[in-house]
Structure 1
Amino acid sequence: MTLPDQSLQTQVAQDVLHPWLARSNVGNDDWWQRLKERGTPLIDYQTPHRCRVTFVWRDPEGNERHSSCRHVWLCINCLTDHHAMQPPISLIRLPGTDVWHYTVLLDARWCGSYCFIPDDGDQGLMQAQGVDGAAAPEARIQQWHALRAWWRSALPHGKDDPLNAGRRWISGRGHATSALHMPRATIADSWLRWDQGESLPDPERAATWWQAHRWNSTLLENERSVWVMTTGRRCPSKRPLAVFLDGGFWTQQMPLPGALIEMTRAGQLPEATYLFIDSVDNATRRRELTCNPLFWQAVEAELLPQAQHWARFDDTPGSALVAGQSFGGLSALYAGLHWPERFGKVLAQSGSFWWPRRELMLLDTLPDDACWLLHQMEEGLGQNGRLELYLEAGRQEHLIHHVHEQLLNVLEHQRHHVHYRVREGGHDALWWRDGLLSGLRWLWRELPHPPLA
């Protein structure tokens, strides 16, 4: 397989300075104040479809004579992180100033997150190497593992962009990030206002029903939080059910319930019952969401009957919807294929359908155990169901995007109803959140959804 080429995004002549960086007062307090008022990154159209994006960071210790900072690593989701397979990229200091900068080219529809990682040498972040596409597969895999290890050690030091006027948020890896929405990026009004600092409706006050519970599973031998929300009471037994994996993220870090409430009020979604399932921790998530039948047996036998008791929903066969991202997207499709009589609608974003061979892009030939779920489908799994599927992948998720193209052929051969959308982004919740709203609207397009009074 071919390694991703990110040259269009990262190889920009850094000596061609943005006009802001060429000003005579660059780096003084007035310059920084005016830059803060404008906001960063600095975005300028290069063509109707591509933009030059200049990132700027202020060294709190001053210029190079006073500062211990040696690098400011730039982490743009899927463009300069380990997904790119290139050496890490550092911002460049403007000599004699406290200004660090770097310019990239991005699609005008790009939507993604980024952070800065200042490095004075004490963090032990030696310059990492990229992956040599000309090397033997075994060597490429070793280089890739070393690069991933470098990013795992670096990301805990990640900082958001203080000059970005948008809301900072905490990524799934736990470090602070900032949002970058290019001029033509697709973003729902709810998320745009939330990014600008406004609050979305609080489900504890605005939903018709909101409760947090603890699910103690006998089958899984563990316990976790789950949240249940309803957005209407006209006909509880007819409310469709949507199950969200990684529910802790979508309720505690990214306020999806508030966006769902707003869309229901506006008549863009039907009244519904929503069930958010926490993933406990990363180890549990990897174990339960990678095509694990026991997890879904527990959901079916233990959790859904309890959820029906908490908040009624339509129990018609095949009416439930399941949504997930990454391993959650893999798990959502797995559930639909195995239990179509329950989960007839699947919303999968950036699904990890490469599982269990993450290093797929580094190999010259496809291993027999790669893309396990896809092989199961080729052998007949899912051919007796007729699922409705809303699938999305980021264009810069090269491995995931590649495997999706193969998956689509199998799904269409089995005559499932598939809507596939490629997003200008990476492996990123910033576009997943928008896609969730679009996916729900598409999957529930035939249900009545009058505006709430």
Structure 2
Amino acid sequence: MILISNDEIISPRLLKLKENLEKAINKRKIIDEFWKEIEEKSTPIIEQIEKEPKYKLVTFLYKENADTDEILLISGSIGVISHRGIFKRIQGTNIYYKSIFYLNKTRTTYAISRQKADIPLYPPKDFILPVLKGDPLNKKNVTLVEGYTMAVLELPDAPSQPWIEEKDKVPKGTLETLQLKSTKFEKEFRIVTYLPPNYNTSGDPYGSLFLFDGLWYSNPKQVPTPTILNNLIFSKKIPSIIAVFIFQHMEDGIESRNIELNTNPDFAFFIGEELYPYIQKKYNITNNPEKTIVGGASFGGLTASYLGLKYPDKFGKILSQSGSYWAAEKWDQNSNPDFRNWQYIIKEYVKREKLPLDFYIEIGLYEGKESLHGQPSHFFSNRHFRDVLLSKGYSLKYVEYVGGHNFICWRGSLDDGLIYLIGNPS
């Protein structure tokens, strides 16, 4: 899925640079002109190699005067790292490089670390801040949480994402912010609701979409779900729908979020027994599970499938983007997991009789590499879950996209899941 080059220079642009340096009397001028060109064009360098037509050669660059082997490329994202590699120096210069072959349709993220640290799969916030700073030479960097920056790699053949941009003539829905206390957690959850244009408090009730990780799924710079819904509704791809964004607690960084979103019965109770009836009472929403979607990414996708098991009478449509189906029951990265219990949710679906659920499941081709404790990868766990669902006779759409564990991928395919699950007949 990714071809890793060796440490020799194979980039045509760097080979030309090396040739010019060997001929030059004033090497400093050649180096300065190279960096000026790079700063104007942005990194990485993307090139076609004739013998590899299905791939682009992507060369990442770093500017450093010291001689070091502690410049690390992390391709993918924290949680699912598809490749790590040490930068090599062009002798006699301040130019460090790392070249990798990527499939032509790749869209993913990466970061460059100035310390060759052993980065854990889910590092604490105080570890992330000094290590991950995106790419200072790339003009497209995204911040997922405060201090956690990744650079964007989008190859020319990456699929278009037509629904994520605001359009002048498209009516906009409205957002409302709520607070709802959980009796199990004894604290409030922030909830943001999306009401479609021309929302009507009477008449036929609306279908609904419950999404975890509201911090990201309602963020215009990450997954602009309200904009996507506006565009899909206006284009009559889906009916008008109410969306409910659930914000996870992040006081301990990603750890708090992961505890809530990993087959946690208390969180499932909050969604099914407290939030769902609260939203039903407050808005004109149907109680028909065939018009009710629950979804999310990573542990959010896992939790969506868990809610399907717990409350199939409420949530009949499951939308999973790179779901963490490898996880053990109530997995906690700070504890010693029971290695016999990986893929807990998949085993639960094997045990149960078929439920009235419909699934949209997607996974990135670059999510099959590293893991924390030797558990099955995201990629193969999603394939396993697909096979189990098909063997049980479930209705589903399964997609493998050319990318990683990234919101920049999920924002472009959320529409595909919505159209499949509740789309209007064409």
On whether the aligned pair clears a TM of 0.5, the verdict is yes
- Equivalent of residue 142 in structure 2, options 169, 176, 192: 169
Q: Distance in 2 between matches of 1:348 and 1:241?
A: 16
Identity of matched residues, %: 22
Contact 1:232-1:272 at 8 Å conserved across structures? no
Task: Quote the residue 2:25 is aligned against.
Answer: none
Shift of residue 190, structure 1, vs aligned partner: 4.4
Q: Which residue of 2 aligns with 1:260?
A: 229
Against the structure 1 CA distance between its residues 261 and 26, is the aligned structure 2 distance closer, same or farther, given a 3 Å change threshold? farther
Query: Where do residues 405-416 of structure 1 align in structure 2 (5 Å cutoff)?
Result: 405-416=383-394
Measured at CA, do residues 390 and 98 of structure 1 come closer, stay the same or move farther in structure 2, by a change above 3 Å?
same
Using the TM superposition, give the Cα deviation of residue 81 of structure 1 relative to its aligned residue in structure 2, in angstroms.
8.8
Alignment-mate amino acid for residue 59 of structure 2? T
8 A contact 2:174–2:194 mirrored in 1: yes
Structure 1, residues 254-274: CA drift from partner, whole Å, max 9, x if none?
233223323333333321101
Amino acid in the other structure paired with 2:237: Q
Per mean C-alpha deviation after superposition, the further-off stretch among 369-378 and 387-396 is: 369-378
Counterpart residue number, 1:41:
44
Name 1:347's counterpart in structure 2: 319
Instruction: Give, as a single letter, the amino acid of the residue that structure 1 aligns with 2:109.
Output: S
2:95 to 87, 90, 99: 99
Name whichever of 316-325 and 242-251 sits farther off. Answer: 316-325
Choose from 186, 197, 210 the match for 1:232.
197
Change (3 A) 1:82 1:423: closer
Offset, 1:170? 1.3
8 Å contact from structure 1 (residues 215, 303) kept in 2:
yes
- Residues 305/94 of structure 1: CA separation in 2 closer, same or farther (3 Å cut): same
**What letter is aligned with 1:114?**
Y
Give the distance between the partners of 2:340 and 2:55, measured in 1 at CA: 39
TM-score, normalised to structure 2's length? 0.81
For residues 321 and 303 of structure 1, what CA distance do their matches in structure 2 show?
A: 14
When structure 1 is superposed on structure 2, of 426-435 and 263-272 the one drifting more is: 263-272
> Could you tell me which amino acid in structure 2 is paired with residue 161 of structure 1?
D
Secondary structure of the residue aligned to 2:411 is helix
Residues 163 and 231 of structure 2 are in contact (CA less than 8 Å); yes or no, is this contact kept in structure 1?
A: yes
Separation in 1, partners of 2:90, 2:319: 46
Does structure 1 residue 118 correspond to structure 2 residue 118? no
Aligned partner of 1:9 among 3, 6, 9? 3
Q: Given the superposition, is the C-alpha separation of residues 429 and 172 from structure 1 closer, same or farther in structure 2, using an over 3 Å criterion?
A: farther
Distance 1:230 1:148, change over 3 A: closer
Question: Are 2:183 and 1:210 aligned?
Answer: no
Within 2, Cα distance between the matches of 1:82 and 1:177?
13
Q: Is residue 75 of structure 1 aligned with residue 44 of structure 2?
A: no
1:431 alignment partner, one of 397, 405, 409: 409
Deviation (angstroms), 1:148: 4.5
User: Could you tell me how far 1:417 is from its partner in structure 2?
Assistant: 0.4
Over 3 Å counting, the alpha-carbon distance change for 1:81 and 1:58 in structure 2 is farther
Q: Partners of 1:250 and 1:81 in 2: how far apart?
A: 18
Hey, what's the Cα distance between the residues in 1 that align with 2:125 and 2:176? 35
Contact 2:237 2:423 in 1 (8 A): no
CA gap of 1:283–1:177, structure 2 versus 1, over 3 A, is closer
Instruction: Identify if the C-alpha distance between structure 1 residues 274 and 320 changes in structure 2 by more than 3 Å, giving closer, same or farther.
Output: same
Match of 2:247 in 1: 278
* AA matched with 1:33: K
Give ranges in structure 2 of 5+ residues lacking alignment.
21-28, 333-337, 369-376
- Tell me whether 1:242 sits opposite 2:177 in the alignment: no
Q: What whole-Å deviation, never above 9, does each CA across 1:89-116 have from its counterpart, x for those lacking one?
A: 2222223333221110111111110111
Pick one of 24, 27, 37 that aligns with 2:31.
27
Letter in 2 for 1:104: I
Aligned to 1:323: 295
Q: Map Cα deviations across residues 225-278 of structure 1 (whole Å, 9 max, x no partner).
A: 110011232655432100000111222452332233233333333211010001
| Equivalent position amino acid for 1:225 in 2 | R
Query: What is the alpha-carbon distance in structure 1 between the residues aligned to residue 148 and residue 380 of structure 2?
Result: 28
Whether the 8 Å CA contact 1:386–1:417 is kept in 2: the answer is no
Cα distance in 2 for partners of 1:284, 1:152 equals 12
- Matched-pair contact (CA < 8 Å) for 2:173–2:226: no
- The CA deviation at 1:149 is 8.3
| Cα distance in 2 between the residues matched to 1:393 and 1:82 | 12
Alignment-mate amino acid for residue 163 of structure 1:
L
User: Is the contact between residue 226 and residue 275 of structure 1 (CA under 8 Å) also seen in structure 2?
Assistant: yes
Query: 8 Å contact 1:201–1:261 — kept in the other structure?
Result: no
Size of the aligned set, in residue pairs, is 391
| 1:390 paired residue number | 360
Q: Report the counterpart of residue 379 of structure 2 in structure 1.
A: 401
Pick aligned residue for 1:419 from 394, 397, 412: 397
2:274 aligns with: 302
1:390 Cα deviation (Å)?
0.3
Say whether the 8 Å CA contact 1:18–1:54 is kept in structure 2.
no
Q: Is there any run of 5+ residues in structure 1 with no aligned partner, and where?
A: 1-5, 120-124, 129-145, 194-199, 360-365, 449-453
Amino acid at match of 2:13: P
Q: Distance in 2 between matches of 1:305 and 1:386?
A: 20
2:181 partner SS: strand
The answer as to whether partners of 2:295 and 2:301 remain within 8 angstroms in 1 is yes
What CA RMSD, in Å, does the superposition of the two structures yield over aligned residues?
3.1
**Amino acid of the structure 2 residue aligned with 1:27:** I
Measured after TM superposition, the shift of residue 42 of structure 1 is 1.2
Gap change, CA 1:326 and 1:148, over 3 Å in 2: closer
